[in-house]
Structure 1
Amino acid sequence: MLTNATIVLPDRVVEAGWVVIERGRIGAIGHGIYPQAPVMPHFDLDGAYLLPGLIDLHCDAIEKLVQPRPGVDIDAGIALHAADRLLLGCGVTCQFHALSLDDAEFGVRSDRFVSDFLHRLTVERHCGARHLVHARVEVSSERGITALETMLGHPLLRLVSIMDHSPGQGQYVDEQAFRNYVARTSGWSDTDIDRIIARKRAMQADIPRRVEQVITWATRHGLPVASHDDDSPDKIRQWVRYGVRIAEFPTTLSAAQAAHTAGLAVGMGAPNVLRGRSSGGNLSALAAIEAGVVDWLCADYYPAALLPVIFRLADRGTLSLPAAVALVSLGPARAVGLEYEIGSIQPGRRADLIVVRRMPDPVVQQVFVGGRPVYTWMEQEERLFVNHEYHGGYQSSAIE
């Protein structure tokens, strides 16, 4: 039982509230004095915010933990455990690791790494957060969709996105923009980049067939499909015809508006909101939120951005606190069809919860995943556990 909490529900904030957790799920919610003498272990949250655990559909931070510098590789298990602790400290209880199938053009962005990482997740028994995989299929690569075919059916593969990073459209408005990005992030030489561009140009004629193949396979396996870096309403109309449900990082407001009108779940990056602009000079996520066309936010490359965004949006009056929380919890859950399992504090949902206090920046003090306490901020440990003894076991890394 969690008591004396400021609970953020989907439609309102409950002061002096309490939540009962039963068998890993939320059993009851109320405010004031609990109607009967509590006989269960309980945490007094001392007025702190109680939020649903944050759900991140797209973050490639694991890449930097596996390969912190070009040519420097760290064991995937070490990187996964480091990521787990980082995510819990940021309030993320369900992470979709965005892993690219992209001919190893950017170090770990390869079919071999994604396959190895999926295997590592399968045998993992010591993570606190839920770890899933978002396969980013580069349709301008040679091996991207072939690699995807070998991974379909894996229980931890839960989202597929279609990427086309060919220079001259989408994220890279011209060839120079592509060159600048590759040189900055990979350390490739001009000759290497010339070779990559030539390969992408050679693949362009086959991209429509590859897109259709990816969508057919994903649909057959019940996987949601996301588009990526859409720059025009025409592209959105194309995705609608294919049955795509999610639009990631539209680069123009017109594309975002078209996607929202068509019923696609529009996602943008939380770092974009914090910085007030896109790192690539594309659409401002804040402008898109103010236009009412954003359904969810993701960490993109920086997990620590998700929690501050909630209070930044609420403090400036852009959104109510429940609406801001929904952008990083219920919104992403709905996008991938998990809204009846996680993403909100409602009876019957899994008890993935975070305790947050503003100091003045928001700090995660406690994290529960499936009702189990998996993270405690050290300065709060003595107070939070004074009346509670926990004997726990393995926390599954998947949503079973």
Structure 2
Amino acid sequence: MSWVIEDGLTLAGENWTERGLSIAGEHIADTATRPRRLDAAGLLVLPGIVDIHGDAFERQIMPRPGVRFDVGLALRDTDRQLVGNGITTTFHGVTISWEPGLRSLDAARSFIRSLCALRPHLSCDTRLHLRWETFALDAVAEVTDWLSLEPSPILAFNDHTTGSVLKGTIARKIGQMAERSGLSREDYMALLDAVWARRDDVPGAIAELAAAAREKGNVLLAHDEASPEERARFRALGARSCEFPLNVETAAEARAGGEDVILGAPNVVRGGSHNGALDAREAVEAGHCTVLTSDYHYPSPLHAAFALADGDRDALAHYWPLVSTNAARAAGLPDRGSLTAGKRADLILVDMADGHHPEIVATMVAGRIVYARRALGELPVRARQMATPAMAAG
């Protein structure tokens, strides 16, 4: 199907244009043959959001500790949330841990089977972000096999075990982690002690999986890096982006090397990290963050970009790549993230009538409308455009 989106204000690169946007089949085009016309008067036309790291789907699987729902049902519900929040490509962060329960190896198997079966029927381009807990040594063989899945998963190294044992930044979460796993606090601590006893085997397992990821061409990330030295260590293993660094020094080391730094959009929306970690807004403004991701809250990428812009349309053009172009680059997806000819037609129409709460009016994935807030023939002319700096000053 072909489309021409007319009368909207379209973000092309970091510039706005009132020129119509043509779509032919799945891609942005210079022209379209016999297109359907879509009236976007008063709306912003933006590249779709690429969400490189999100685990909010876990709430659909287990909305309360010990209360589980079918994974297929959870994935379908999550899919509706994603496109309703302007996310056109997502990487579900499935944690593969030594814990029993929600983040166990068995749970990962079930999730991956369900996602592979359902993926062709989901509206959002839904992919895998394999968050391997580095002490889950018994999972190495299966994670290696999963690296060959199509589309290619992201692999991230996560070490929440060391912090738990050494009473680091996440030790205060032990009660929550025990509850999630279905164990008593005492049983969880006993299991943690047994896992910690195998710590000498962890570096070899990390090197083995990193080599497999390099060979297969997977994007490789390291989560919660705590120092420039740790960034350098994972860089040498092939992790070319820095995901959720714990301090400014580590983020600055990554940026000095021309690498992407990934932080959570909820951090911006809430006004700080709920873990007391690096402040994402400050990092963005200092040039220490290039990608914002949903983390645990799907509405946040949209709202973070608009919050950073603070009503300034040109500022929005500057910040939007944090959730589109830059995120696509970090995910190894050069075919999307901007509204230029030849790219995938992944885009959103946004109503800014309420200056503080942008509303997704429609979402298009690969040239197909997958979400519409209202009937397409009734797309409104009522939305206010964001102010230019001159307008704001006046």
Normalised by the length of structure 2, the TM-score is: 0.89
CA distance in 2 between partners of 1:207 and 1:178 (Å): 22
Asked if 1:19 corresponds to 2:21, the answer is yes
Question: Compared with structure 1, are the counterparts of its residues 365 and 317 closer, same or farther at alpha carbon in structure 2 (3 Å cutoff)?
Answer: closer
Stretch deviating more after TM superposition (107-116 or 85-94): 107-116
Equivalences for residues 311-350 of structure 1 within 5 A: 311-315=306-310, 320-339=315-334, 341-350=335-344
* Partner residue in 2 for 1:59: 54
Asked if 1:277 corresponds to 2:272, the answer is yes
* Partner residue in 2 for 1:393: none
Stretch deviating more after TM superposition (239-248 or 214-223): 239-248
- What count of residue pairs does the alignment treat as equivalent? 374
CA distance in 2 between partners of 1:208 and 1:315 (Å): 45
Q: Structure 2 counterpart of 1:274, which letter?
A: V
Q: Does the 8 Å contact 1:296/1:332 carry over to 2?
A: yes
CA distance in 1 between partners of 2:218 and 2:75 (Å): 24
Question: Moved runs in structure 1, 4+ residues, more than 6 A?
Answer: 169-172, 316-319
Q: Does the 8 Å contact 1:270/1:300 carry over to 2?
A: yes
CA distance in 2 between partners of 1:236 and 1:332 (Å): 19
Out of 10, 30, 33, the position equivalent to 1:7 is: 10
TM-superposed CA distance for 1:149, in Å, is: 2.1
Q: Does the 8 Å contact 2:345/2:366 carry over to 1?
A: yes
TM-superposed CA distance for 1:76, in Å, is: 1.2
Q: Does the 8 Å contact 2:26/2:368 carry over to 1?
A: yes
TM-superposed CA distance for 1:186, in Å, is: 5.0
* Partner residue in 1 for 2:387: none
* Partner residue in 2 for 1:112: 106
Out of 351, 366, 369, the position equivalent to 2:365 is: 369
CA distance in 2 between partners of 1:293 and 1:171 (Å): 28
Q: Structure 2 counterpart of 1:151, which letter?
A: W
* Partner residue in 2 for 1:260: 255
Normalised by the length of structure 1, the TM-score is: 0.87
Q: Does the 8 Å contact 2:363/2:372 carry over to 1?
A: yes
* Partner residue in 2 for 1:237: 232
Q: Structure 1 counterpart of 2:367, which letter?
A: G
CA distance in 1 between partners of 2:328 and 2:15 (Å): 19
Out of 180, 186, 191, the position equivalent to 1:191 is: 186
Query: Which blocks of at least 5 consecutive residues in structure 2 are unaligned?
Result: 381-394
Stretch deviating more after TM superposition (286-295 or 168-177): 168-177
Q: Does the 8 Å contact 1:101/1:143 carry over to 2?
A: no
Q: Does the 8 Å contact 1:267/1:294 carry over to 2?
A: yes
TM-superposed CA distance for 1:8, in Å, is: 1.2
Q: Does the 8 Å contact 1:115/1:151 carry over to 2?
A: no
Secondary structure of 2:360 counterpart: strand
TM-superposed CA distance for 1:206, in Å, is: 1.5
CA distance in 1 between partners of 2:49 and 2:169 (Å): 35
Query: Which blocks of at least 5 consecutive residues in structure 1 are unaligned?
Result: 30-35, 386-400
Secondary structure of 1:303 counterpart: coil
Alignment RMSD, CA only? 2.4
